Amino acid sequence: MTASETVHCPFCQVKIGEDVRKCRHCGEWVARSCDGCGTSVRGEWAARGLCAECQRRRHPTHAPQVPLAVASGKSRGLAAILAFFTGGIGLHRFYLGNWMAGFIYLIFCWTLIPTLAGWVEGVRYMLMDDVDFKARYSP
Protein backbone atom coordinates (compact mmCIF):
# COMPACT_ATOMS: atom_id res chain seq x y z
CA MET A 1 0.00 0.00 0.00
CA THR A 2 1.53 3.27 -1.10
CA ALA A 3 0.34 6.84 -1.04
CA SER A 4 0.02 6.76 -4.79
CA GLU A 5 -2.77 4.19 -4.65
CA THR A 6 -6.04 5.57 -5.93
CA VAL A 7 -9.67 4.79 -5.34
CA HIS A 8 -12.67 5.76 -7.38
CA CYS A 9 -15.10 8.35 -6.09
CA PRO A 10 -18.36 6.44 -5.51
CA PHE A 11 -20.33 9.39 -6.84
CA CYS A 12 -18.64 10.45 -10.04
CA GLN A 13 -16.33 7.44 -10.55
CA VAL A 14 -13.33 9.71 -11.05
CA LYS A 15 -10.04 8.37 -9.73
CA ILE A 16 -9.02 10.13 -6.57
CA GLY A 17 -6.21 9.66 -4.10
CA GLU A 18 -6.86 7.12 -1.38
CA ASP A 19 -6.31 9.65 1.38
CA VAL A 20 -8.72 12.16 -0.12
CA ARG A 21 -11.70 12.70 2.15
CA LYS A 22 -13.77 14.86 -0.10
CA CYS A 23 -13.89 14.40 -3.85
CA ARG A 24 -12.42 17.43 -5.58
CA HIS A 25 -14.35 16.60 -8.69
CA CYS A 26 -17.95 16.47 -7.47
CA GLY A 27 -17.61 17.81 -3.93
CA GLU A 28 -19.10 14.69 -2.28
CA TRP A 29 -17.65 13.25 0.91
CA VAL A 30 -15.65 10.14 0.18
CA ALA A 31 -14.50 9.47 3.72
CA ARG A 32 -15.22 11.17 7.00
CA SER A 33 -15.92 10.29 10.57
CA CYS A 34 -19.39 9.18 11.52
CA ASP A 35 -21.47 11.90 13.18
CA GLY A 36 -22.87 9.34 15.55
CA CYS A 37 -19.95 7.27 16.78
CA GLY A 38 -16.87 8.81 15.20
CA THR A 39 -15.65 5.75 13.33
CA SER A 40 -14.43 6.55 9.85
CA VAL A 41 -16.86 5.80 7.08
CA ARG A 42 -16.37 5.83 3.33
CA GLY A 43 -18.33 6.24 0.16
CA GLU A 44 -22.07 6.41 0.37
CA TRP A 45 -22.05 6.29 4.16
CA ALA A 46 -19.69 9.24 4.30
CA ALA A 47 -22.13 11.33 2.27
CA ARG A 48 -24.85 10.54 4.80
CA GLY A 49 -22.55 11.40 7.68
CA LEU A 50 -23.41 8.24 9.60
CA CYS A 51 -22.09 4.71 9.56
CA ALA A 52 -24.44 1.84 8.77
CA GLU A 53 -24.91 1.07 12.44
CA CYS A 54 -25.82 4.65 13.40
CA GLN A 55 -28.16 4.96 10.42
CA ARG A 56 -29.97 1.87 11.58
CA ARG A 57 -30.16 3.17 15.13
CA ARG A 58 -31.49 6.53 14.03
CA HIS A 59 -34.13 5.12 11.75
CA PRO A 60 -35.09 1.87 13.42
CA THR A 61 -38.57 1.75 11.91
CA HIS A 62 -37.53 1.56 8.27
CA ALA A 63 -38.72 -2.03 7.98
CA PRO A 64 -42.48 -2.46 8.10
CA GLN A 65 -43.59 -3.56 11.56
CA VAL A 66 -46.74 -5.28 10.35
CA PRO A 67 -46.31 -8.96 9.54
CA LEU A 68 -46.62 -9.78 5.87
CA ALA A 69 -49.75 -11.84 6.43
CA VAL A 70 -51.62 -8.69 7.42
CA ALA A 71 -50.81 -6.92 4.19
CA SER A 72 -52.07 -9.74 2.02
CA GLY A 73 -54.76 -12.15 2.97
CA LYS A 74 -58.28 -12.22 4.19
CA SER A 75 -60.11 -9.05 5.02
CA ARG A 76 -61.44 -8.79 8.55
CA GLY A 77 -64.06 -6.23 7.49
CA LEU A 78 -65.38 -8.41 4.68
CA ALA A 79 -65.52 -11.47 6.97
CA ALA A 80 -67.56 -9.43 9.47
CA ILE A 81 -69.95 -8.19 6.77
CA LEU A 82 -70.41 -11.73 5.45
CA ALA A 83 -71.02 -13.00 8.98
CA PHE A 84 -73.67 -10.32 9.60
CA PHE A 85 -75.55 -10.63 6.33
CA THR A 86 -74.94 -14.15 5.12
CA GLY A 87 -74.02 -15.81 8.41
CA GLY A 88 -77.15 -17.98 8.15
CA ILE A 89 -75.60 -19.92 5.27
CA GLY A 90 -72.06 -19.79 6.62
CA LEU A 91 -70.61 -17.68 3.81
CA HIS A 92 -68.08 -16.05 6.17
CA ARG A 93 -66.85 -19.51 7.10
CA PHE A 94 -66.37 -20.44 3.47
CA TYR A 95 -64.63 -17.12 2.92
CA LEU A 96 -62.24 -17.85 5.77
CA GLY A 97 -61.47 -21.26 4.32
CA ASN A 98 -63.30 -23.17 7.03
CA TRP A 99 -65.36 -25.32 4.68
CA MET A 100 -66.48 -27.90 7.24
CA ALA A 101 -67.99 -25.25 9.47
CA GLY A 102 -69.50 -23.58 6.40
CA PHE A 103 -71.33 -26.77 5.46
CA ILE A 104 -72.63 -27.22 8.98
CA TYR A 105 -73.99 -23.65 8.87
CA LEU A 106 -75.56 -24.41 5.50
CA ILE A 107 -77.18 -27.64 6.70
CA PHE A 108 -78.71 -25.85 9.69
CA CYS A 109 -79.61 -22.68 7.85
CA TRP A 110 -83.34 -23.43 8.29
CA THR A 111 -82.87 -22.92 12.03
CA LEU A 112 -81.93 -19.48 13.28
CA ILE A 113 -78.83 -20.76 15.03
CA PRO A 114 -76.32 -20.14 12.20
CA THR A 115 -77.69 -16.61 11.76
CA LEU A 116 -77.24 -15.88 15.46
CA ALA A 117 -73.80 -17.51 15.44
CA GLY A 118 -72.94 -15.36 12.41
CA TRP A 119 -73.83 -12.18 14.30
CA VAL A 120 -71.74 -13.24 17.26
CA GLU A 121 -68.82 -14.05 14.98
CA GLY A 122 -69.28 -10.82 13.05
CA VAL A 123 -68.97 -8.87 16.29
CA ARG A 124 -65.95 -10.93 17.23
CA TYR A 125 -64.25 -10.20 13.91
CA MET A 126 -64.95 -6.49 14.40
CA LEU A 127 -63.41 -6.49 17.88
CA MET A 128 -60.46 -8.66 16.96
CA ASP A 129 -57.25 -6.95 15.99
CA ASP A 130 -55.86 -7.41 12.52
CA VAL A 131 -52.83 -9.35 13.67
CA ASP A 132 -54.96 -11.75 15.74
CA PHE A 133 -57.38 -12.18 12.92
CA LYS A 134 -54.66 -13.02 10.41
CA ALA A 135 -52.91 -15.34 12.83
CA ARG A 136 -56.14 -17.26 13.26
CA TYR A 137 -57.55 -17.30 9.75
CA SER A 138 -54.69 -16.95 7.32
CA PRO A 139 -52.81 -20.07 6.42
User: Which residues are within 8 A (CB) of 138 and not within 5 positions of it... i.e. 6 or more apart?
Assistant: 69, 73, 74
Selected from 46, 54, 79, 128, the binder of Zn ion by CB under 5 A is 54
From 11-19, 64-72, 91-99, 127-135, span contacting Zn ion (CB under 5 A): 11-19
DSSP string, 20-88: -SB-TTT--BSEEE-TTT--EEEHHHHHHTS-HHHHHHHSTT-S--S-HHHHSS--HHHHHHHHHHHGG
Rule CB under 5 A: say whether 34 interacts with Zn ion.
Answer: yes
Rule CB under 5 A: say whether 25 interacts with Zn ion.
Answer: yes
Rule CB under 5 A: say whether 12 interacts with Zn ion.
Answer: yes
Rule CB under 5 A: say whether 107 interacts with Zn ion.
Answer: no
CB 5 to Zn ion: min, Å: 17
Rule CB under 5 A: say whether 11 interacts with Zn ion.
Answer: yes
* H-helix or E-strand spanning residue 101: helix 99-107
Q: Which residues bind Zn ion (CB under 5 A)?
A: 9, 11-12, 23, 25-26, 34, 36-37, 51, 54
